[in-house]
Structure 1
């Protein structure tokens, strides 16, 4: 899908949602902070609203509102009842969330769909006990695809990264970047284009899908990838607890059985995978863009860095009160990785 078509899809999805409100008994207000053409707005949230409508026989629908507040404020929007549903990127709020880092660790070469389903199961079996999302209802979890490196000048090896000033999303990506000798700056995703176009940063560690969603082909034409990525970002869909409790019991049951949990986690991961594939092709088709694969030597060197970062994350998460090593092993076992 090109940009104009994505914009059309987003607009049609929103207008369809408006039409659906007229017939629905309950309209959930969704907050979104990415650009209108991003796949979260063009596909994920409209898909979720469609799943909600189908599960409830049209009695519940949703309305997407964009740009209400910056990414770090999404949890508080839902807590305060300003919106009913939102999604949070855990890495934007260091200290508030910690356990998600187990999912962000590199070294797992899999799809976002598979990782997202495994993430939901990991949460149910290990992470929910930490109550890091206290005050809101977690209704889904997902990861994006492998986070890779996007720069304004060519990078041919890991050694070339030393000294680069890179926008980092926080979490494991920032720890990996430090280990590689880069200088990290934290900028919310909606500000990435501006940051790169002004040369405030040399590049960004971000999802592949961002080459289309955040127009990185224009400001970071050089793409460097390593198997499994440098990290894998973590998102949660959250809902206001009182809004859910106020729904009739049969509607609560329908949402829990047919939408929340694995269904929307799987759907969201699958959308990321499709977006990644599109962005790779877009990069190949865009004049001046390059794609560089990590060498065998770089892959081996990065494995050592992963081992160190993993040990640090396990220690940090274990301090919160769970067996982090066992939780990570469970997550990776489901994905067929040791």
Structure 2
């Protein structure tokens, strides 16, 4: 072979290698987010997940977070349609579609961390709930449980009876059933709309988490909190991805991303909720918020309501192929296991 021909062949070979290497170069996971720039999902979860992914892939994959791509109930569709590669969804925003995911929402009247609950929920989803196929169209990379859901009101109350006729923000799912049992008029609005609705008198308060006192400015418009141990309810979330994203990365990088997702990302989400609740309570106390524990009589009533709701739920998901009693038992077993495992805090890069 003549010298020019050898040079040409060599150049073609190098070009092919460069193309092969560049075909997976610096992929970006575009994350659609909501909750406000100061919400823990945006100050803790996404920055930490980004750092984990960049480290795991030697910077071949990164994360870009974009705000206001759509309202909270639209996030599932935004990801499924490929407008964004990933997002976080609150299952109660799509109550008709999601039933199996109500599993961690029922009140237990016991205290446990959102970090442990989220880790337990991830394993329960993988073992039992995913067969319901409720997340069809997207890949689930983490599951999350928020902290104890409490009741916030404009006027101070001390018992459930005083809630009768009140208009409260509710988010669907189990909390809707609880609201009805307490003779509350539920108003379906996202957490981000609570401040405006309460300040304009559209609602008398809200069923939300303690972090909402700060994150959604609830302390300014509904500063009085009625509480029960473990919360009136919990909330179910997922972090989801568009399956087509995996075409942009190598199998090696996909495995690397999955290694810092799953239980680890679920724990991170729960940790964020725990920290956010602590900050919410501190903010509320600094700004004159009150906290009133529900009476034992009220809690006994709520136990009966919760039992009825759980029985109805168990029956409703049979048709989706989920063994509800087994899934619930597994979830509570996993809660115990999760509490004995190492905390995620040391791996968090942003607080």
Q: TM-score, normalised by structure 2?
A: 0.86
Cα distance in 2, alignment partners of residues 305 and 201 from structure 1: 24
Matches within 5 A, 1:276-315: 276-287=277-288, 289-315=289-315
Q: Which residue of 2 aligns with 1:94?
A: 95
Cα distance in 2, alignment partners of residues 302 and 336 from structure 1: 24
Q: Which residue of 2 aligns with 1:328?
A: 328
Task: Give structure 2 stretches of 5+ with no counterpart.
Answer: 1-24, 338-351
Matches within 5 A, 1:233-244: 233-244=235-246
Structure 1 residue 336: Cα displacement: 4.2
Moved over 3 A (4+): none
1:102–1:314 Cα contact (<8 Å) kept: no
Q: Which residue of 2 aligns with 1:165?
A: 167
Q: Which residue of 2 aligns with 1:176?
A: 178
Cα distance in 1, alignment partners of residues 246 and 261 from structure 2: 12
Matches within 5 A, 1:202-281: 202-257=204-259, 259-281=260-282
Q: Which residue of 2 aligns with 1:5?
A: none
Q: Which residue of 2 aligns with 1:123?
A: 125
Residue deviations 1:61-118, cap 9 Å, x none? 1111111111111111111111111111000012111111111111153110010000
Task: Give structure 1 stretches of 5+ with no counterpart.
Answer: 1-23
Cα distance in 2, alignment partners of residues 315 and 80 from structure 1: 32
* Count of residue pairs brought into register by the alignment: 312
Cα distance in 2, alignment partners of residues 226 and 143 from structure 1: 17
**3-state SS in 2 of match to 1:124:** helix
Residue deviations 1:171-203, cap 9 Å, x none? 001111111111101001221111111110011
Cα distance in 2, alignment partners of residues 202 and 318 from structure 1: 37
Are residue 77 (structure 1) and residue 78 (structure 2) matched? yes
**3-state SS in 1 of match to 2:207:** strand
**3-state SS in 2 of match to 1:166:** strand
Cα distance in 2, alignment partners of residues 51 and 336 from structure 1: 27
